[in-house]
Amino acid sequence: KNQVEQSPQSLIILEGKNCTLQCNYTVSPFSNLRWYKQDTGRGPVSLTIMTFSENTKSNGRYTATLDADTKQSSLHITASQLSDSASYICVVSGEEFYFGTGTSLTVIP
Amino acid sequence: DAMVIQNPRYQVTQFGKPVTLSCSQTLNHNVMYWYQQKSSQAPKLLFHYYDKDFNNEADTPDNFQSRRPNTSFCFLDIRSPGLGDAAMYLCATSPRVADEQFFGPGTRLTVL
């Protein structure tokens, strides 16, 4: 069964600290993996997209990794800011799109 | 700027009263999607259009219908909203089905 699981479900960190979000998937065939940031009450916005051959991709303070062998991805946020508070959704594309349930990140002062 | 626009941003309707949500895009993408997202859940795909070809997900209730009169616009019609239909409705577009999706800001639907 094609599934995308994210962990942790929620996370609270202090401003300025780093954090890592996890995404494990069982989607096959695999086309690409995307991380989206969704602010409360807004639509998701793409952070990174990774294909099978890509291991690491950065977008400012966001760095995504992909291990296609173990079917795991992570999103690392460096020097967190209050504006990073949002839900982070992992979406895997195969024959169709498969959404994870997201990690809710709260950054506190 | 090219974008995906949804109107209204907030919609309140009464139980059983039909409602229409609107989505427009300036990206000239072939594919338009409608998702339903309930609190703390992942977006759930309702249906999508590839050009004029309509693709309905198997578990999308008949209560939900869609229209795409042209490339730029797509509408979601909820014929008889129930309390369980209260959710955020997201519109997204992509050049092709497997490509990156660009989401609109969503419409928050409240059913009284």
Provide the CB-side half-sphere exposure for B41 (13 A, CA).
Answer: 12
Cβ separation of A101 and B105 shorter than 8 Å?
Answer: no
Q: Token pair for residue B4?
A: 């995906």
Residue B103 to chain A, least CA–CA distance (Å) = 6
Q: Write down the pLDDT at residue A96.
A: 82
Q: Hey, how many other C-beta atoms are within 10 angstroms of the C-beta on B22?
A: 16
B98 neighbourhood in chain A, CB within 8 Å = 31-32, 93
> How far is B71 from A106, CA to CA, in rounded Å?
38
pLDDT at B100: 85
Q: Average pLDDT of B79-91?
A: 96
- Which residue of A42, A96, A101 is in closest CB contact with B41? A101
Asked if residue B47 lies in contact with residue B55, where contact means CB atoms within 8 angstroms, the answer is yes
Residue B98 has pLDDT above 80, yes or no: no
- The Cα B14–Cα B33 span in angstroms is 25
pLDDT-based confidence at residue B67 (cuts at 50, 70, 90)? very high
What was the pLDDT predicted at B91? 97
* Residues in chain A with pLDDT values less than 50: none
Quick one: pLDDT at residue A61? 96
- Rounded CA-CA distance A103/B40 in Å is 9
Residue of A25, A99, A103, A104 to mutate when probing chain B, most B C-beta within 10 A: A99
The whole-angstrom separation of Cα A6 and Cα A102 is: 6
Residue B1 has a pLDDT of 62
At A100, the amino acid letter reads G
CB-CB under 8 Å, B103 with A44: yes
pLDDT for position A95: 81
Identify any residues that bridge with B23 across adjacent strands, giving them in sequence order: B6, B74
Provide the token pair at A34.
């995307």
Given this model, what pLDDT does residue A1 score? 83
CA–centroid distance for A61 within its chain? 13
